[in-house]
Structure 1
Amino acid sequence: MKQTPDRLFSQPLEQVPDFAFNEDVVKVFPDMIKRSVPGYPTIVENLGVLAAQFAQPNSVLYDLGSSLGAVTQALRRHVKAEGCRVIAIDNSHAMVERCREYLHAQDSMFQELLPVEVMEGDILALEFQPTSLVALNFTLQFIAPEQRPALLQHIRQALLPGGALILSEKIRFEDHIEHELLGDLHVAFKRANGYSDLEIAQKRSAIENVMKPDSLEQHRERLLAAGFSKVVPWFQCINFASLIALP
């Protein structure tokens, strides 16, 4: 996958627009997310490894908020259960079109990959089929907080016994000192990856109205309220984390 450098916020903007997954973002997204999200490559690759432990034969695997299909590709590489297929869904037309291109290219490089259906749509309106694995990889944080419980309840109702939801999110911290410390470390991470203070500040302004992170405690309480029996954190890097929720 050829990466175009992310320079979207490198020049001063008179007014910073709200962040959107448009064509401009799609062009630089692989570079943007690698340089912005600590541990992202580790989460994605190991999400495929984890999925292989929960995927059941002849079941659907969901990648919700699939963006360019990195998680879908990891699922297809690692899941070997017979008869599985992946449904990848995103509400960004630009993301969906590019995702289809990338997955088509993957088909030409690998044999015996899981079949995948890439859909443009709203995951809040999705009618779930019985599923053994659902991935919400940095997606829930872009959904309005009041709509999150219903989505998780729908996922829980669709999960087969022995399946799992894997949820990755930027997290905030209840303790003010801890929150400030890890926030500062995240800024240092982005500086170390070549972002200027101007880029960091403008990106923060663009995204603060559209991305609303929760604490680990909030995630756990919401998942348990949705009917999940167990919530297990399996990864954290600075202020980004991933959880396994079991039915």
Structure 2
Amino acid sequence: MSDVDKLFAAPLPQVSDFVFDHNVARVFPDMIKRSIPGYPTIVENIGVIAAQYAQPGTLIYDLGCSLGAATQSMRRHLGGADCRILAVDNAEAMVVRCREYLAAQDSMMEELVPATVIQGDILQLELEPCSVVVLNFTLQFIAPEQRLAVLTRIRQALLPDGILVLSEKFRFADPVTQQHLEQVHYAFKRANGYSELEIAQKRSAIENVMLLDTQEAHFERLQAAGFSHACTWFQCLNFGSIMAHA
């Protein structure tokens, strides 16, 4: 259902800021697979974590769901559990295609938890009581000054023993670590068929859109938002995922 990512293969007269439009939605699965080391492991284990912490009769959020990979994983692992998932994204192109993917999953598997996909701004979304919230590479696209407020609202909505899964690309305070991991990440992209031109143009497109935090900054912010404990449960190069407990 997706095409090969060639969005930055030809020289562009001007590289615009990255936008989650229909062109990106069309190639997004290929883009993610070839760009984010460890992504399949993160997505699969979001399902495992959700199955561990989801509480009967409760709501689960996938905020910034893009094409719904995390939602699909949670549905596979939750099976016919007494829960429901609300997947939210602000990009119309992503929402349309996400609904198509979930409909295809419904046709292939029985007894899945119900999942609804809506277009909305998670900065404005009224959060209902919930047991699991997923921010899978979402927070990094929110303005830094708004991140604490988002996490605080999530913490307030989480039920006792609820959990947030927060996946992000990390930056590192130590410049040597930053340089080494960044260079290996570029090598990962080259190994997956991206040219130097594609890597450079994608970097230019995203540098003003995706503003990164260190893991330490994430932990400090999660504590300030009211979470009782947080840990990095997975890291591959400069990408990883954190579990934060209510």
Normalized against structure 2, the TM-score is what? 0.99
- Provide the residue aligned with 2:24 in structure 1: 25
Deviations 1:108-161 (A, max 9, x none): 100000001100000011111111000000000000000000000000000011
User: 1:56–1:81: 8 Å Cα contact kept in structure 2?
Assistant: no
Structure 1 stretches of 4+ moved >3 Å: none
Distance apart, 1:99 and its partner CA: 0.5
SS at match of 1:89: strand
- Provide the residue aligned with 1:90 in structure 2: 89
- Provide the residue aligned with 2:161 in structure 1: 162
CA distance in 2, matches of 1:188, 1:54: 36
- Provide the residue aligned with 2:77 in structure 1: 78
Distance apart, 1:79 and its partner CA: 1.6
- Provide the residue aligned with 1:49 in structure 2: 48
Output aligned runs, 1:138-177, within 5 Å. Answer: 138-177=137-176
- Provide the residue aligned with 1:13 in structure 2: 12
- Provide the residue aligned with 1:200 in structure 2: 199
Over the matched positions of the two proteins, sequence identity in percent amounts to: 64
- The one-letter code sitting in structure 2 at the alignment partner of 1:125 is Q
CA distance in 2, matches of 1:61, 1:198: 40
Distance apart, 1:232 and its partner CA: 1.1
- Provide the residue aligned with 1:137 in structure 2: 136
CA distance in 1, matches of 2:13, 2:80: 52
Where does the alignment leave 5 or more consecutive residues of structure 1 unmatched?
Answer: none
CA distance in 2, matches of 1:128, 1:52: 21
Where does the alignment leave 5 or more consecutive residues of structure 2 unmatched?
Answer: none
- Provide the residue aligned with 2:211 in structure 1: 212
Distance apart, 1:80 and its partner CA: 4.6
Normalized against structure 1, the TM-score is what? 0.98
Deviations 1:214-243 (A, max 9, x none): 000000000000000101110000000100
- Provide the residue aligned with 1:67 in structure 2: 66
User: 1:55–1:81: 8 Å Cα contact kept in structure 2?
Assistant: no
Over 3 Å counting, the alpha-carbon distance change for 1:170 and 1:68 in structure 2 is same
